[in-house]
């Protein structure tokens, strides 16, 4: 508790040159969230609102920061920052509707408490995971730099959240890229029941700034004038000279983590000391002592705020409960994009899969001046597979960005680019295996964004994947099934150069998060005649590569090539369907083929259990049962990690078992 104890000093106010009017405005601004909260606590006890995270005692931080920024500068708050929402002058009834899950809220009843954002007020709501907010702020700030706008972005985090890897990654990238972000850390002594002494070892969080090569400051978070004055000065300076700053606000959490959890574990004397530092009571005393606030004016101000709260509560309570339909809910998972097909030209070139991807990416960079690519070693070095070789020279370092090794925060930054002015991002994962280090933002930020608050995400994650290259357990996985499971993501998996080129262009045109799988073994082994000019291929359209009558083989990626080889070698009369995209999935093409042949084998490179083949199998069983002449067969890899040695890897992969499996099905 040392860092808290030391900071408990009397509040000293320095009014600078602020007019009485300005000081009264600040007083009104910190008073409002307090009075709203007091009302909410009553409603909570009456069961009229759900969970509540109290910011009582911390209002000066939210209000001071929000008041120092211009209304077109983004703020990314956390769960105790009601003062930001009120300082941005959001009509109160909309906040109340949000907390009651009603239509006039900001999430159509889909997300609770402070998990909401609004472009209208330039506020980006948090996801529960805390730390990812910091990385999103980086993307927003990067967008400001790219658009040559002199703006700062302020992002909030508690001292507990600073223990997350996201904090380290975000601060590191912001420092390396000189991003104009104010990292506002509210050190309120506790993260749920955990005191700061068990959360971090250094004396102050601000001390961490030096480790990132970042300016940092300690601010009395209970002193509205200190917060406002310091932030006004720093914001002005950052607008002029873009750079990140780490700010530690010393404050205290005066209530439970959320109302149900209480404060039994907090020593009473600590509570008492901090109660004497209440940001509102102290400011009130100061204003009275300086003859700035009269008793009558104070009463009037409070009456007006209470009146506003009550009127707006009435509006929210009178609003009907939200209803929706299955169709409506399903139609809000993906941003609607108007797909416009660009037909391929007649001029062709015989190229490899890797060349097709590189060419497509290059043409997209030329077509979309708002497209940025990010990844490890992609600039001077051209990427580990050389797909971006020469890009730096043509497009410059602003758009071809080498990143530190930090998948999570870069994916968060890509999302931030979408939020601030719809800047498109392609992120190259060095290997698809490393997406595990960026899993959280994919699943929780990107996938849920449109459904939660109608915000699209023009983010394409390029995923060099797959086995057959003797690369062992950490450089060989094909992990598409981790993502096809999650609503809100699109999953593309081409097997040929022609498809890869057109599908990548479509992916970049799209405004939804997309995982674009590129098989490493196919990179340099598969050639095809590919139109040289830019073209697109629609998602959700499988390709029937071989026509037959005895069996349908459904596959994607490397599996398609195995199927073609076996069918050709053994002269089997088979439909071979290359799915090309797994989400959306071409169900019609699958059903049509199964209905024709009556026998179906679904082939995937991935291990079988919980894979794409299992769900396709279930769909066929549910919808085509009466057309089947044999049980559905799934073929995939062994249920083990992927071994390194050639013979073991061949044993792991299903290729050598494929012919026997087909024959078993044909002979059923
Ligand atoms: C990744 C993750 N782990 C755990 C939690 C559960 N959790 C929610 S808030 C919280 C404490 C946060 O403390 P701090 O960052 O200090 O913010 P404060 O609540 O004090 O404002 C915890 C543990 C979470 N939301 N996300
Ligand atoms: Mg805390």
What's the pLDDT tens digit per position in 92-126? 999 999 999 999 999 999 999 899 999 999 999 99
pTM value > 0.85: yes
Q: What is the pLDDT of residue 6?
A: 52
Distance CA 635, CA 619 (A): 16
Contacts of 190 (CB under 8 A, 6+ apart): 160, 196, 253, 257, 266
Cβ–ligand 1 distance for 110 under 6 Å, the answer: no
Smallest CA separation from ligand 1 atom 1, residue: 129
User: 411 alpha carbon to ligand 2 midpoint, in Å?
Assistant: 26
Which residues in the chain come in under a pLDDT of 70?
1-8
477 neighbors 641 (Cβ within 8 angstroms): no
Q: Which atom of ligand 1 is nearest to the CA of 80?
A: 21
Interatomic CA distance for residues 184 and 251, integer angstroms: 12
CA distance 391 to 501: 17
164 alpha carbon – ligand 1 mean position (Å): 10
Catalytic residue among 93, 115, 312, 475: 475
* CB of 257 sitting under 6 A from ligand 1: yes
Query: Could you tell me if the CB of 657 is within 6 A of ligand 1?
Result: no
Query: Which tokens hold the place of 156?
Result: 């909030």
pLDDT recorded at residue 1: 41
Ligand 1 centroid to residue 5 C-alpha, Å: 22
Question: Which of 380, 420, 412, 381 is closest to 396 using CA atoms?
Answer: 380
33 Cβ contact list (under 8 Å, min separation 6): 55, 59, 62, 63, 82, 83, 86
* 158 touches ligand 1 (CB under 6 Å): yes
Q: What is the pLDDT of residue 7?
A: 53
Q: Whose CA is nearest to atom 5 of ligand 1?
A: 129
**Ligand 1 contacts CB of residue 161 (under 6 A):** yes
Task: State the pLDDT at residue 260.
Answer: 87
Query: β-strand 543-546 against 400-402: which pairing, if any?
Result: unpaired
From the CB of 561, is ligand 1 less than 6 Å away? Answer: no
Q: 139 by DSSP, 3-state: which?
A: helix
- Is residue 221 within 8 A of residue 277, CB to CB? The reply is no
Mapping DSSP to helix (H, G, I), strand (E, B) and coil, where does residue 282 land?
helix
Nearest CA to ligand 1 atom 13: 191
**Closest by CA position to 650, among listed 521, 463, 526:** 521
Nearest in space to 482 (alpha carbons), one of 403, 405, 429, 525: 429
Q: Is the CB of 456 under 6 A from ligand 1?
A: no
From the number of C-beta atoms within 10 Å of its C-beta (0-12, 13-18, 19+), residue 298 rates as middle
Alpha-carbon 437 to chain mean position: 13
Ligand 1 atom nearest the C-alpha of 440 is 1
Mean of the per-residue pLDDT values for the chain? 97
Give the SS3 label for residue 600.
strand
Phi, psi of 218 (to 5 degrees): -105, 130
Pocket probe for ligand 1: among 135, 167, 186, 192, the residue whose CB has the most ligand atoms within 8 Å is 192
Instruction: Tell me how far apart the alpha carbons of residues 212 and 23 are, in angstroms, rounded to a whole number.
Output: 36
Find tokens 């919980």 and name the residue: 610
Work out which ligand 1 atom sits closest to the CA atom of 58: 21
What per-residue confidence (pLDDT) applies to 301? 98
The CA distances from residue 258 to 50, 112, 192, 315, 652, in Å, are 11, 14, 8, 26, 50
Do the Cβ atoms of 95 and 43 come closer than 8 Å? Answer: no
* Active-site residue flag, 475: yes
Q: What is the pLDDT of residue 546?
A: 98
Is any atom of ligand 1 closer than 6 Å to the C-beta of 307?
no
Site to probe by mutation for ligand 1, drawn from 81, 160, 256 as the one with most ligand atoms within 8 Å of Cβ, is: 160
Beta bridge partners of residue 155, listed in sequence order: 76, 183
User: Which of 315, 629, 371, 303 minimizes the C-alpha distance to 510?
Assistant: 371
Give 72's contacts (C-beta < 8 A, 6+ positions apart). Answer: 122, 151
Report the residue among 112, 158, 193 best suited for mutation to probe ligand 1: largest number of ligand atoms under 8 A from its CB.
Answer: 158
Number of H helices, E strands in the chain: 26, 21
Matching residue, tokens 């005066």: 254
Query: How does DSSP classify residue 668?
Result: -
Ligand with the closest atom to the CA of 189:
2
């Amino acid at each position: 508790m040392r860092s808290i104890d030391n900071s408990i000093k009397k509040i000293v106010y320095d009014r600078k040159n602020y007019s009485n009017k300005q000081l009264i405005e600040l007083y009104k601004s910190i008073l409002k969230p307090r009075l709203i909260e007091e009302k909410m606590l009553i409603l909570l006890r009456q069961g009229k609102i759900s969970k509540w995270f109290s910011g009582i005692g911390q209002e000066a931080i939210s209000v001071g920061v929000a008041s120092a920024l211009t209304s077109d500068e983004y703020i990314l708050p956390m769960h105790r920052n009601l003062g930001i929402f009120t300082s941005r002058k959001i009509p109160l009834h909309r906040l109340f509707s949000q907390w009651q899950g009603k239509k006039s809220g900001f999430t159509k009843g889909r997300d609770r408490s402070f998990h909401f954002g609004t472009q209208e007020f330039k506020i980006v709501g948090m996801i529960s995971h805390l730390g990812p907010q910091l990385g999103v702020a980086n993307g927003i700030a990067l967008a400001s730099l790219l658009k040559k706008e002199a703006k700062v972005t302020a992002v909030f985090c508690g001292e507990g959240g600073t223990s997350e890897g996201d904090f380290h990654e975000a601060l590191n990238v912001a420092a390396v890229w000189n991003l104009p972000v104010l990292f506002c850390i509210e050190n309120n002594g506790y993260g749920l029941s955990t005191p700061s002494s068990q959360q971090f070892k250094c004396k102050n969080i601000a001390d961490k700034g030096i480790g990132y090569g970042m300016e940092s400051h300690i601010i009395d978070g209970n002193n509205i004038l200190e917060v406002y004055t310091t932030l006004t000065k720093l914001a002005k300076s950052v607008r002029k000279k873009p750079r990140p700053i780490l700010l530690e606000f010393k404050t205290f959490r005066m209530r439970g983590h959320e109302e149900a959890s209480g404060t039994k574990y907090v020593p009473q004397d600590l509570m008492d000391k901090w109660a004497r530092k209440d940001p509102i009571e102290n400011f009130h005393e100061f204003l009275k002592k300086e003859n700035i606030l009269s008793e009558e004016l104070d009463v009037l101000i409070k009456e007006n705020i209470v009146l506003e709260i009550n009127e707006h509560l009435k509006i929210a309570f009178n609003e009907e409960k939200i209803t929706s339909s299955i169709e409506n809910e399903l139609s809000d998972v993906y941003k609607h994009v108007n797909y416009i097909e660009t037909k391929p030209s007649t001029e062709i070139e015989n190229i490899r899969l890797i060349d097709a991807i590189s060419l497509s990416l290059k043409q997209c960079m030329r077509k979309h001046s708002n497209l940025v690519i990010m990844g490890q070693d992609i600039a001077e070095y051209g990427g580990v597979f050389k797909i971006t070789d020469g890009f730096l020279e043509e497009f410059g370092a602003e758009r071809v960005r080498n990143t530190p090794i930090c998948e999570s925060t870069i994916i968060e930054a890509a999302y931030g680019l979408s939020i601030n002015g719809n800047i498109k991002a392609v992120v190259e994962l060095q290997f698809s295996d490393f997406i595990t280090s960026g899993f959280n933002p994919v699943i929780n930020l990107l996938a849920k964004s449109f459904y939660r608050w109608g915000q699209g995400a023009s983010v394409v994650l390029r995923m060099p994947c797959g086995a057959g290259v003797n690369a062992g357990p950490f450089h060989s996985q094909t992990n598409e099934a981790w993502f096809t499971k999650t609503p809100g993501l699109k999953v593309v998996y081409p097997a040929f150069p022609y498809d890869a080129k057109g599908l990548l262009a479509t992916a970049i045109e799209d405004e939804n998060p997309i995982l674009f799988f590129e098989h490493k073994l196919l990179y340099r082994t598969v050639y095809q005649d590919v139109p040289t000019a830019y073209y697109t291929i629609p998602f959700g359209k499988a390709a029937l590569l071989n026509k037959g009558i005895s069996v349908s083989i459904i596959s994607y990626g490397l599996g398609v090539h195995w199927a073609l080889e076996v069918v050709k070698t053994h002269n089997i009369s088979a439909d071979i369907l290359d799915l090309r995209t797994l989400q959306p999935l071409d169900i019609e093409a699958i059903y049509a083929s199964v209905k024709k042949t009556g026998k179906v084998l679904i082939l995937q490179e991935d291990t079988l259990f919980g894979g794409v083949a299992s769900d396709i199998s279930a769909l066929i069983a549910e919808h085509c049962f009466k057309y089947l002449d044999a049980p559905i067969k799934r073929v995939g890899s062994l249920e083990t990690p992927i071994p390194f040695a050639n013979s073991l890897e061949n044993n792991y992969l299903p290729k050598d078992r494929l012919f026997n499996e087909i024959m078993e099905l044909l002979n059923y």
